Amino acid sequence: MVGIVLVSHSKEIAEGTADLVLQMAGEVEISAVGGDADGSFGTDPERIEASIRGLEADEVLVFMDLGSAVLS
């Protein structure tokens, strides 16, 4: 199975997009990672890595909202 990780600078955008994908795609393992560790606007590389490792998938696709999220 393929897992999906959604990374956004905003927790609300990541979670909302995950909800939308689940409505459209049905059975897919998905994780949303948004905001910094302290809840502010940004991304947290440790949370992104934990999210990827936490999926029980053979392959993982990671989608990011802005170019700087790739740096994380």
User: Measuring CA to CA, which residue among 64, 55, 49, 67 is closest to residue 8?
Assistant: 64
Catalytic residue among 9, 31, 33, 51: 9
Catalytic (active site) residue 9: yes
What single DSSP character describes residue 26? -
Which residues are designated catalytic? 9
